[in-house]
Structure 1
Amino acid sequence: MKKKIFAMMLAASMTVALIGCGSSPKSAADSQDHLARIKAAGKITIATEGVWAPFTYHDEATDELIGFDVEVAAAIAEKLGVEPEFKEVAFDGGLTGVSTGTFDMMANGVDVTEERSKTYDFTAPYAYDHAVVVTLASNDTITSFENLNGLKTANSAGSTYEAMGREYGAEVMNVDTLGETMTLVSNGTVDATINANTSVQDYIKTTGTTDLKVAAVDSDVTLYGIPLAKGSDNDTLREAIDKAIEELRADGTLAEISIKYFGVDITAE
């Protein structure tokens, strides 16, 4: 009988212990959302390519990471009260890293699209652009996006421009940089490339090339936003970035950065 009572008491005590373990309060870190964790760390990790002028690239003289998106992201970080920590990765790697939590955000002229919005929560747009088709200046057969059907184009893997090429029936070659895409068009390896009008105009102006031209302009406006991992964990971070963008637009900072890199203000719709 004593053994039976002892066993019952032991089982009861173990049950209480297990209940106590299961109901222990979460640590402060576990209860913090993404914005709180970023502020606690004092920094925000930002994915960017570093090879797409004038959005994100390296100064030839100093090798410093510079560009429109780099300065905008740094200004947003300052508004959040943290230091920006840029991580240079391929475009598709940056997007994947945001969704997996490797990076806090991405600043790389990321188009806000219906398809991407299924995976990411985007901030309010901070800039506006148009997609264009670039061909050899001597090419008079490509005058629209529809003319790309059955032809070869080149673009960064995972980019909106890659997707557009495939949608219009082109065979798309994946490359890493804008310069590579332009070279492939220039030497006839591909028939065309699709890219942002702002980047194309900057490339033509910077290189002085007369071999290339803009053959077609998409009438739809491209919205550039900052993608965050989808979910309520990022609600306050998205709201804070939206507020920062609004303030940077209102005080003229966005326009100033845009004019510095593009010569025009692409931050006003």
Structure 2
Amino acid sequence: MKKIGLFVIAVLLLITAACSDSSDKASGKTKPDDAIWKKIQDKGVIVAGTDGTLYPASYYPENSDELTGYNVEVFRELAKRLGVKVKFEVMPFDSMLGALNSGKVDIIQAGPREESKKKFTYSTPVKYSYATMIVRKKDHSGIEKMEDLKGKKAGGAATTVYSEIAKKYGATVVTYGNATNDAYLRDVDNGRTDVVINDYYLQRLALKALPQFDLEIHPNLKFYPNTNNVVMKKDAPVLEQKVNDAIQEMKEDGTLTKLSKKFFAGEDVSTEPDFPDMIEIDGIE
């Protein structure tokens, strides 16, 4: 009798499991399968790609080998809330999506674009901003409207949206390796290039840190509102949920605001601002 009873119980368990599986499929529900999160959990480490040369997002302070910056400290706080350690892989921005796709890194920070959204998942924003131009003070590098970019030389990385904006308006993009801010600004100052298009907050702080150059942010051109997000591979639903939950907690408890004000001279980049007189640019994601 005991053997028969055990057999009946086993059959019932199999039927129950089959019915549950069938019900899940019928309702469209599936249990998340996330090998990426499992690997992170097993190692106890999440690997973050960052450039290490862009003040104040990711940089080494003078006379220090300790990486810091807004992006870096957001990653550190995120890892803590995920219950793992963070390891940084320093690389040029142009290499980051490739490193993410190959599995060399687990997360990076970048703005969402339609083409990359086919392969990667973007978290809720950790930073809101817009684009500006650094130009020569004396003549704005001959630029008074977006169309004046035609024929100019714009310093920038090859694959950024800022370089796409420059190209859209007819500028030639002069690309750099993993260069620091002073290289970009020096070239505008000495005339090798005419303009640097980039994030407003980064540009403002770069000029403040390097006052020796006769440059300014163009006073009349504000354009391309954008966000910075944590980027992961598509097949990581558990990691995506955990990252978004942690970011929401960081917003609600004021952690993102605190980090922002520390690195952006009192500005809160973690909340969406009201952009006055913003120039929209068609065809640029």
Aligned to 1:118: 118
- Measure how far apart 1:32 and its partner are: 5.2
Task: From 242, 245, 252, give the equivalent of 1:243.
Answer: 245
Instruction: Number of aligned residue pairs: give it.
Output: 235
Aligned sequence identity (%) = 28
Partner in structure 1 of residue 222 of structure 2: 218
* Correspondence for 1:130: 130
In the alignment, is residue 78 of structure 1 matched against residue 85 of structure 2? no
With the length of structure 2 as denominator, give the TM-score of the two structures: 0.79
Relative to structure 1, the CA distance from residue 96 to residue 165 in structure 2 (aligned partners, 3 Å threshold; closer, same or farther) is same
1:100 equivalent in alignment to 2:102: yes
Residue 70 (structure 2) aligns with: 68
Deviations 1:12-36 (A, max 9, x none): xxxxxxxxxxxxxxxxxxx752112
Q: Distance in 1 between matches of 2:229 and 2:198?
A: 17
Distance 1:32 1:67 in 2: 30
Counterpart amino acid of residue 260 in structure 2:
S
Unaligned segments of structure 2, at least 5 residues: 1-32, 273-285
Higher Rg: 1
| Equivalent residues of 2:34, 2:239 under 8 A apart | no
The equivalent of 1:24 in structure 2 is none
| 2:180 is aligned with 1:186 | no
Shift of 1:57: 0.3
Distance 1:136 1:32, change over 3 A: closer
Q: Out of 234, 237, 243, which is 2:236 matched to?
A: 234
Q: Which amino acid aligns with 1:243?
A: D
Tell me the distance in 2 between the aligned counterparts of 1:186 and 1:63: 29
1:207 aligns with 2:210: yes
Query: For the Cα contact (< 8 Å) 2:48–2:86, is it kept in 1?
Result: yes
Instruction: After superposition, give the CA deviation of every residue in 1:193-232 in whole Å (9 maximum; x if it has no partner).
Output: 10111111111111224511112543332110112123xx
The answer to whether 1:267 aligns with 2:270 is yes
TM superposition shift of 1:90: 0.7
SS of the residue corresponding to residue 182 of structure 1 reads: helix
Q: Which runs of 4+ in 1 moved over 3 A?
A: 216-220
Partners of 1:100 and 1:229 within 8 A in 2: no
